[in-house]
Amino acid sequence: MRASELPTPSRLLPADIVRVGLVGIRSRPTRAVLSALGIAIGIAAMVAVLGISNAGQADLTNRISRLGTNLLTVSPGRDLFGQDAQLPSDAVEMVGRIGPVESVTATAQLSGVTVRRTDRIDPLAGGGIGVAAARTDLLPTVGGSVGQGVFLNGATGRYPSVVLGSVAAERLGIDRTGRQVYIGERWFTVIGLLSPVALAPELDRSALIGWDAARDLFAFEGHPTTVYERSADESVEAVRGVLAATANPQSPQDVRVSRPSDALEAQLAAKSAFTSLFLGLGAVALLVGGVGVANTMVISVLERRPEIGLRRSLGAGRGQIRIQFLAESVALSGSGGAVGVLLGALITAGWSVTQGWPVVMPVGVLLAGVASAALIGTVAGLYPATRAARLTPTEALSSV
């Protein structure tokens, strides 16, 4: 018979590839499930890490946007002799004269003044709570709010009234207003409890009394220790450049100017660094799963030598045998990847809801999870598929 009269070799259609690729999985379901489980765990870990990281970053980004990045703080540094410097008593008024400044306020830590739950407690057991004089316009500038009660005003700021930060209230065991705490050598009435202040966490650990009350009761001289200033967004850097010289014209080198939102952005960068670390651990788990799939496929080739020999003797080519086992490997990894993506998405959603974060799951992450699993399946099945394709009908059938 001439070559032109030979029958046309059969070709595997996509449906045929899927069908023959699922033969091994259907015939050995337990082994297939265990092999796919390794891939599922690796993909779930990677998807969950990326999803939780994206949700956390989205929440932090929303907080930064909501709180604003235009808050600057001015505080005294140290002079040439290593001593604590001091801001002028009129620093707030001088900073307020800067054109783009929209609001300015201040607090002043009272040295040597302690706050206690009762007068029976040792003054040295302050629990890290500081006492500070505060201006009545503090909260609007720093973006704070009162969780319970009211803040200091022109009237209460003259008398023994105190507003506690969230941490200070917890450490003192104060859960409602109307209680009294012992500050210095005098009882103060708690008129307000603050909610956590993200851009000024030092206020969370403070007991705030009025500026006038601090002058009258503790001989406060009016020198602020922290000046808070907000300006137009486009003018922040310009204002930052002149704040030190404006707040303390005599010694601008002894003034520290900072931007509280930079700390939140540093947290954002730290989250990204940890994401890379955990993503690497997920990749290791995925690699281990890929090794498991490769091992399963090698065993499958050894066990199915008679099937390979029979198919070869009936006219199946080397390429058809190769693609059969590649399809099985990809199906095994792909099914594990799909389960892993679903599991990772559920973990991300559950964690985000419990933390009060927005549920963020980029479609690209889900698709990348399935694609990674398919790629691992292709690589893991390449050697077993090539080995199966090299078997001759005689060699394969001789093992029957």
Q: Is the pLDDT of residue 9 over 60?
A: no
Asked if pLDDT for residue 12 goes beyond 80, the answer is no
Whether residue 330 sits in one domain with residue 282: yes
Both 170 and 309 in one domain: the answer is: no
Reduced to 3 states, what is the DSSP secondary structure of residue 204?
A: helix
Are 335 and 290 part of one and the same domain? yes
Mean pLDDT of 102-131: 86
- For the stretch 260-313, pLDDT in tens is 767 656 665 655 656 666 667 677 777 888 888 888 888 888 877 887 777 777
Average pLDDT estimate for 85-91? 89
Contacting residues for 73 by C-beta, under 8 A, at least 6 apart: 200, 226, 227, 228, 229, 257, 258, 259, 260
Within a domain: residue 4?
no
End-of-domain residue from the set 259, 288, 318: 259
> Which DSSP string do the residues of 254-274 spell out, in sequence order?
GEEEE-THHHHHHHHHHHHHH
Residue 394, both tokens: 């005689």
User: Per the domain annotation, does 5 fall within a domain?
Assistant: no
Check whether residue 120 and residue 251 sit in a common domain.
yes
Regarding whether 142 and 30 lie in a shared domain, the answer is no
- 115 and 47 part of one domain: no
Q: What is the DSSP string of 91-118?
A: HHHHHHTSTTEEEEEEEEE-TT--EESS
**58 and 81 fall within a common domain:** no
Same domain, 374 and 347: yes
Q: Count how many domains the chain has.
A: 2
Give pLDDT, residue 39.
85
pLDDT band at 166 (very low <50, low <70, confident <90, very high): very high
Q: Report how far residue 182's alpha carbon sits from residue 14's, in angstroms, rounded to the nearest whole number.
A: 81
Q: Does the pLDDT value for residue 391 go beyond 80?
A: no
- State the pLDDT confidence band at 21, using cuts at 50, 70 and 90: low
Q: Which of 140-144, 264-268, 357-361 has the lowest mean pLDDT?
A: 264-268
The pLDDT value recorded for residue 213 is 94
Same structural domain for residues 326 and 280? yes
- Residue % of the chain over a pLDDT of 90: 32
Cα distance between residue 108 and residue 111, in whole Å: 9
pLDDT at residue 146, as a whole number: 96
Instruction: Note the pTM of the prediction, 2 decimals.
Output: 0.63
When pLDDT is averaged across residues 155-159 and rounded to a whole number, the result is 93
- CB count within 10 Å of CB 54 equals 21
- Within this chain, do residues 206 and 239 fall inside the same structural domain, yes or no? yes
Chain mean pLDDT for the chain: 83
Answer whether residue 47 is part of any domain.
yes
Which is more confidently placed, 368 or 27?
368
Residue 287 lies in a domain: yes
Residue 1 lies in a domain: no
Residues 117 and 255 in one domain: yes
Task: Give residue 76's domain range.
Answer: 71-259
Average pLDDT over residues 156-173: 94
- Return the pLDDT at 1: 47
Top pLDDT among 294 and 66 is at 294
**Where is the domain boundary, 259, 284, 315?**
259
Q: Among 231, 206, 209, 227, which residue's Cα sits nearest to residue 218?
A: 209
Final residue of a domain: which of 240, 259, 278? 259
Clarify whether residues 152 and 230 are in a common domain: yes
More confident site: 257 or 6: 257
